[in-house]
Structure 1
Amino acid sequence: MQRVVRAELDLELEGELDLILSVAVAAGTPVAHERLQLFRDGEELSPLTVTDAEGTRLHRLRAAAGPLQVRYDARIDGPLTVAPASPLDTAVYLRPSRYAPSDSVFAQARRQFGGLRGTDLLAAVESFVAETVTYSPGLSLGTDSAVTTLATGQGVCRDYAHLVIALLRAMDVPARYVACYAPGLVPMDFHAVAEAWIDGRWLVVDATRLSNRHGLVRIATGRDAADCAFLSYYGANLALQRLVVDARIDGDGDVVAAASDPLRDDRAALVSLG
């Protein structure tokens, strides 16, 4: 089984700015092919590559005003081996963060999930978020936190992930945010899920239930969406004029369905994101 991913961005820069992209698959992913190209008026530009402690690869470029095209594609041969949590991880991912303020949902979490531990807690949080939040594109804001999602009961993948993370942290479970490519996702886009450190491994949670966890490809990992934005810029404004994201599985029909059809993902199964 091979996973094939692609992202295309057409940007219009309104002035000279510092551009940071997070569209490449995480460091250590076993790629058979990978290419990132940035074009300006037909000229290919070379960004600086920076890899953070979690394996997120950032591509940074200082660019002048005008159009800029970003083209990325990769073919992945197998799963990424995820490093076990360090003592620092289990401290950082227990703390409240900007979009996952676990201290603000502490009382709700303790009332809702008191007495649950381990995988029972994980299943209960996933079910609660899946059943109480409605997937509502365009109705949430990029500044919404888990508190907003809990109150409104609506959001997109990042909102689901933030609420799962905040509730788990409030129950003393380290949890983190993962941006990823998701074969079979409808509508296709960059996707976000949560990971929880339980029984000595990171387990992935997708409370949207719109992806098949077995096919996900990690891009970025962090405390919340603030650490994992696919596009950041400083110094001037820009317009995102076009965004295309694609992810698929190559293989025979049953292999493809088993790793990309959300209905083939047994939600009771424990899955690690590779």
Structure 2
Amino acid sequence: MREVSCQLDVVVHRSADLVLTVAPHTAYEVSERLDVRLDGQPVDVIERVDTFGTRRHCFQAGLGRLTVAYAATVTAHRTAGPQPGDDLTYLRPSRYCDSDRLVNVAQSLFAESAPARDTVGAIRRWTLESIQYAPGTTDHLDGATEVFLSRRGVCRDTAHLLTAFARAMGIPARVAAVYAPGLVPMDFHAVSEVLIDGIWWIVDGTGLAPRGSMVRIAAGRDAADIAFLDAIRGQIELVSMTVDARADVLPHDDGVLAVAFS
């Protein structure tokens, strides 16, 4: 069993249409509570589930102070296999996983003839050894190429680079937002998933939390698809955020053994 939660404090400077993505994927059985308020008054929220099982909570907010409180107990997981077309969708370059710009680099770093699992292992090792985990060194405009050149970033950046390298080597890959029990400091976490033998396997370019206890929130081409809060219209400012994720038992993770969401 896992317990996950988050609290957001947001100022709405201009009336906004907002999309919140903090609830676990539909593959999980959850007991949950979501409370959204504007200046202390409840806000009507509509849940929409996309074709990939990502749960998005949509609402409108006028000017004022917006608070979001979400908490869930995760009790079970149903294996969710790949969707038709995943192998094509997640081979293509995207805004932050610009694999087309990194093909030559990837092919020079990793053996083209190696089995997919070995290639992914080599990409992960290179990422762990070469990219310095350094909060505040990248921003929301930086993609995989910028991270490769600077050799610095956070989980979002390593996930983008690892995903882009995998795609450049012909392996379908995507980025996932997760709750990560054991992560220090605690926050929303980003990892990669690679599609091998019909299963999406978790690959963490930071090694900061055990994969076996992670809870998938959303998966997509890159960070543009998995943001925890999007303003489709209007202007908002995130004042503060807290995230918590706990598991009954934190599994050992050597980073090598293949692990899928459970």
Q: Could you state the TM-score of these two structures normalised by the residue count of structure 1? A: 0.93
5+ residue gaps, structure 2: none
Contact 1:118/1:199 (CA < 8 Å) preserved in 2? no
Per-residue deviation, residues 231-260 of structure 1 (Å, max 9, x unmatched): 11033211111100000013xxxxx232xx
1:20 alignment counterpart? 19
5+ residue gaps, structure 1: 251-255, 259-263
Q: Establish whether residue 273 from structure 1 lines up as the match of residue 246 from structure 2.
A: no
1:253 alignment counterpart? none
1:37-116 counterparts in 2 under 5 A?
37-83=35-81, 85-114=82-111, 115-116=113-114
1:257 alignment counterpart? 250
Per-residue deviation, residues 145-176 of structure 1 (Å, max 9, x unmatched): 10011111000001000011100001110001
2: CA distance between counterparts of 1:172 and 1:82?
A: 22
1:138 alignment counterpart? 136
Equivalent residues, number? 261
Tell me the amino acid that sits aligned with residue 178 of structure 2. Answer: C
Per-residue deviation, residues 13-44 of structure 1 (Å, max 9, x unmatched): 0121111110111113111x101110123321
**More displaced, 205-214 or 230-239?**
230-239
Contact 2:160/2:175 (CA < 8 Å) preserved in 1? yes
**Matched residues, percent identical?**
42
Shift of 1:59: 0.7
Which structure has greater helix proportion? 1
Corresponding residue SS for 1:235: strand
Shift of 1:112: 1.1
**C-alpha RMSD of the superposition:** 1.1
Tell me the amino acid that sits aligned with residue 259 of structure 2. Answer: V
Corresponding residue SS for 2:142: coil
2: CA distance between counterparts of 1:88 and 1:177?
A: 16
Contact 1:178/1:193 (CA < 8 Å) preserved in 2? yes
Contact 2:171/2:195 (CA < 8 Å) preserved in 1? yes
